[in-house]
Amino acid sequence: MQLAFVLYKYFPFGGLQRDFMRIALECQKRGHQIRVYTLIWEGDVPPGFEVLVAPVKAFFNHRRNEKLSAWMEADLARRPVDRLIGFNKMPGLDVYYAADGCFEDKAQNLRNSLYRRWGRYRHFAEYERAVFAKDAKTEVLMISEVQQPLFIKHYDTPLKRFHLLPPGIAQDRRRPADADEIRAGFRAEFNLKDDELLLVQIGSGFKTKGVDRSLKALAALPADLKKRTRLFVIGQDDPKLFQMQSATLGLGDNVTFLKGRSDIPRFLLGADLLIHPAYNENTGTVLLEALVAGLPVLVSAVCGYAHYIAEADAGLVLDEPFEQAQLTQYLTGMLNDAQARAAWSRNGLAFAEKADLYSMPQHAADVILAEHA
């Protein structure tokens, strides 16, 4: 079959983008042709992929999205495909991969009523409705059980159109046999002393991921603990605002900001704790990447995959509603207790052996290639 995938932006370090790539490669491996429509493509193009970057410009994101849709529609009219698979919500999709939560629910509950008069709201509401409306035909690949009831509540989407997928953690994230050697080399490279503790926060979109919360918690640690604790923040985002916050909090060399990178497994093995106090997060792939690497996790309960951390007993999950004082308290306790960290690490590795945390691309491809898609 000729398959077309569409996503607004591809770069190698985003969770949605990595999911797209692994699903597309799985479909290609099964003998199907891959075409991609996008606004931005950063990084290598896999052999055999036809990548089309839409030659459109607009001042507002939603106008640019609309121009991409129109441009893609015109190209598809000339060169039809068997399936159109979207990683962002838009009209005309055969299959949608639900990486984002319910826009309408956020618009009604987290925004001022005036917001719903804007063109931006109308665009995203219309594009979401095109996917989830009761009479729409789009099959939905769900990666978070939390969001499904919200879509049904707002759109009365038939249950049979939802396909809940297991997580899709890449096997290269699992703790390797030479993990101790990798850890030692990593810590030497970054000049981490034996008694120093390393926190990592990994993910693009520093505001949503709660980097401000992490910085406040680090600043509030007891003085002796703070002195020997470092935080690496890694992701594709502009760190200026958070660098200013870090400086204001007097954190100095305690905090290092790094761009998105391809050697994340080394950081998971070299660190002592993953901190992830996100404001919202449909899933949180990095939580499971830490778990399968044996790195304890401190996470906010809003993350779709936080329940795996609790089930595996591989760290601590914060209460909802979020309280900064609890984050500081949990962080202090976890950093001070090496035995507890070792136990969380063992528990995570044991869970990684028996739970299906890896087969998402295969299950997604099954749905995409099924007759009803």
pLDDT in tens, 164-195: 999 999 898 999 999 999 999 999 999 999 99
Whether 20 and 126 share a structural domain: yes
The pLDDT confidence band at residue 373, using thresholds 50, 70 and 90, is low
**Of 326 and 112, the one with more pLDDT:** 326
Please state, as a whole number, how many other Cβ atoms lie within 10 Å of the Cβ of residue 82.
14
Q: What is the mean pLDDT of the chain?
A: 96
Spell out the alpha helix ranges (H) of the chain: 15-29, 61-78, 103-109, 119-132, 148-155, 179-189, 211-219, 223-227, 240-248, 264-270, 285-293, 306-312, 324-336, 338-354, 360-368
Q: What percent of the chain has pLDDT over 90?
A: 91
Whether 152 and 210 share a structural domain: no
In this prediction, residue 372 carries a pLDDT of 64
Whether 254 and 330 share a structural domain: yes
In this prediction, residue 297 carries a pLDDT of 98
Can you read off the two tokens belonging to residue 318? 């914060």
Whether 98 and 214 share a structural domain: no
CB-based contact 279:210 (threshold 8 Å): yes
In this prediction, residue 115 carries a pLDDT of 81
Q: CA torsion 50→56→58→60, rounded to 10°?
A: -20
Is the pLDDT at 106 greater than 80, yes or no?
A: yes
Whether 96 and 188 share a structural domain: no
> How is the beta sheet containing 297-299 ordered, strand by strand?
255-258, 229-234, 197-202, 273-276, 297-299, 315-317
Euclidean distance between CA atoms 31 and 25, whole angstroms: 10
CB-based contact 308:291 (threshold 8 Å): yes
* Terminal C-alpha separation, the chain: 12
Whether 147 and 201 share a structural domain: no
Whether 145 and 280 share a structural domain: no
Whether 261 and 159 share a structural domain: no
Cis peptide before 149 (omega within 30 of 0): no
| Residue 61 structural domain | 2-166+358-368
Position 334: which residue type?
M
Whether 27 and 125 share a structural domain: yes
Whether 158 and 188 share a structural domain: no
Per-residue pLDDT tens over the stretch 209-260:
999 999 999 999 999 999 999 999 999 999 999 999 999 999 999 999 999 9
Euclidean distance between CA atoms 176 and 352, whole angstroms: 13
In Å, how far are 7, 25, 166, 208, 354 from 20, measured between CA atoms?
A: 8, 8, 15, 21, 25
Whether 333 is in a domain gets the answer yes
CB-based contact 83:368 (threshold 8 Å): yes
Whether 27 is in a domain gets the answer yes
Euclidean distance between CA atoms 229 and 231, whole angstroms: 7
- Tally of structural domains, the chain: 2
The pLDDT confidence band at residue 111, using thresholds 50, 70 and 90, is confident
Per-residue pLDDT tens over the stretch 259-314:
999 999 999 999 999 999 999 898 999 999 999 999 999 999 999 999 999 999 99
| Residue 344 phi, psi dihedral angles, 5° rounding | -60, -40
In this prediction, residue 89 carries a pLDDT of 98
CATH number of the domain at 143, please: 3.40.50.2000
CB-based contact 243:237 (threshold 8 Å): no
In this prediction, residue 113 carries a pLDDT of 81
